[in-house]
Copies of this chain bind each other. A is one copy, B any other.
């Protein structure tokens, strides 16, 4: 039972959080005070009684995790940090200023923030990932708390999270929906119909508790029920008022994302009982356990393939991931119900305790990967390359979260053949290149794939590997190394008249073109640009110098943003790299331009003009055309 004194202290804390949310946004001149005020009571009780968090050691594996999925309530979160005594009032007032850690939406620049939020509907799916780690990998009793706005439940990704959390019986996951009824531009779809939320959540297998989100006793009881349930996740559906506590704001439209002017702020603060400087001691975790051990590392023994054989790079991914799994017990695999196509199933069979089936929910899969890496696991998530487009916003936000995740897309390009355009990734290189912190790899051979998979594990940021459906020739010896950022010159002479740059499936076409051109007396250099980002600028510049600037880039991808664009970028200057100054670049991009259909891989490569034939023609057109004409 709660005493009157406790209730009073909670109320005082909630009022302080409201006051500070107003103060800091008024100083900033922007931000979301009213959205911070509605869940202030919820957060006051959480911080005072339920959260177990060692602020001195955010890396303590026993810490609860708190995600503000409604990232625009950042002022409230930061006010909680002040109340917890880890930031001072001066820093609080730096909200939204250039150089401050207190950005408009939370980011992991702050040591207590695990993931960036601000793109709504992502916090709960990420919470699922952390809760998976807690329950199945760490096997520690910490809780993951996620504060959601009501509007964001319109995002399908939230229901992917509801679905997966129940499927994996994540009783360590607690969602709190701040049902303040008012979205950015008016009433939300469901308004204060908390029962509608509850029905949906229960239908998805959750415990749902409807409360008055300003009644401290009800909040206390709901949290108590949430932390004691042991067969399902809990959602607390809290009816609240936006701008609660200030009559001129409370439950009124037109106040979303608006800071109060200085005079209005003064009046509002006065109405809330004035400024307070309470600090509270947040309980640290009772248990101080260590994450469950998940096997002893074995020496890495990557698979080896014999030259001359034909093996799909997706097959090599599966083999290499199993090998890597033995060497690195913190590797976790995820797949979106296509593990028999991506070959993640090999890992799933070998290490079932380190595999999570994500069903056909790519957003949840990427979010789970982000959650797992919060707990310092190394997630490898795979699906058809085309279907990572489904999760592009999650990948974008993973970068803002400074997350380290590895994504592997199979079935890239027209070379998949009969299935047709819907299954062909033709924009994945462009999309992944345009992600901050990304690495983009595209192997052409199984031995190369294995070496790249091994390197992915320790590579920070968003690391993407594109694999190929078809069996392709093993062209490299199993001993060769393929450093990220490098390339391989696989054919060259001192008489090369042009350079052909390929990667993945098109490298094999380049090799065929080399032979045909050689028969016609034209020698070309062939470069395997397996590292699309970062690209091997030096080797490309040297090739341009050696082959009169004649470059042909060939890729199984739309003509925009992929390998051709990466090669072109290598010849542009930036604010800190000089412009290439060798012979004039005469570059031809061969890439997919028309919407492909079904057909054999050969027919489709030919129709797209990215086969050996097209390369031969392009090289001939370059060699025939005199320089400068």
Contact = CB atoms under 8 A, between A and B. Distances in A.
A595 B400 contact: yes
Interface in A364-394: 364, 386-387, 389-390, 392-393
Nearest to A188: B359
Contacts of A581: 586, 628-629
B588 A575 contact: yes
B340 A184 contact: yes
A103 B599 CA distance: 8
A184 B337 contact: yes
A583 B575 CA distance: 22
Nearest to A566: B560
A287 interface: no
B560 A561 contact: yes
Interface in A315-333: none
Nearest to A533: B560
A364 B154 CA distance: 10
Given A559-B569, A564-B569, 8 more contacts: A154-B360, A155-B160, A184-B341, A427-B435, A430-B431, A430-B561, A533-B560, A572-B588
A175 interface: no
A573 interface: yes
Given A340-B185, A418-B30, A574 B600 contact: no
Nearest to A102: B598
A363 interface: yes
Interface in A579-605: 579, 581, 584-591, 593, 595, 597-600, 603-604
27 contacts: A71-B422, A97-B599, A103-B597, A107-B421, A118-B423, A121-B360, A154-B359, A156-B156, A183-B337, A183-B360, A185-B340, A431-B431, A435-B558, A533-B560, A560-B566, A564-B572, A565-B569, A568-B568, A568-B569, A569-B589, A571-B587, A572-B588, A573-B587, A573-B589, A573-B618, A575-B614, A579-B622
Given A156-B364, A427-B434, A431-B431, A575 B422 contact: no
A351 interface: no
B572 A104 contact: no
B568 A98 contact: no
Contacts of A572: 564, 568, 587-589
A428 to B, nearest CB: 9
Given A105-B420, A105-B423, A156 B361 contact: yes
A224 interface: no
A151 interface: yes
A28 interface: yes
Interface string A80-119: 0000000000000000111110111101010000001111
Contacts of A390: 119, 155, 392-393
A202, A361, A435 interface centre (most CB from chain B within 10 Å): A361
A617 B575 contact: yes
B400 A107 contact: no
A559 to B, nearest CB: 7
Interface string A134-151: 000000000000000001
A98 B558 contact: no
A11 interface: no
A77 to B, nearest CB: 13
A200 B189 contact: no
A609 interface: yes
A387 B157 CA distance: 13
A120 B618 contact: no
Nearest 9 CB-CB pairings of A with B:
A156-B156, A118-B422, A98-B599, A430-B434, A561-B561, A203-B203, A154-B359, A159-B159, A104-B420
A463 interface: no
A171 interface: no
A159 B189 CA distance: 14
A50 interface: no
A158 interface: yes
B155 A595 contact: no
A598 B98 contact: yes
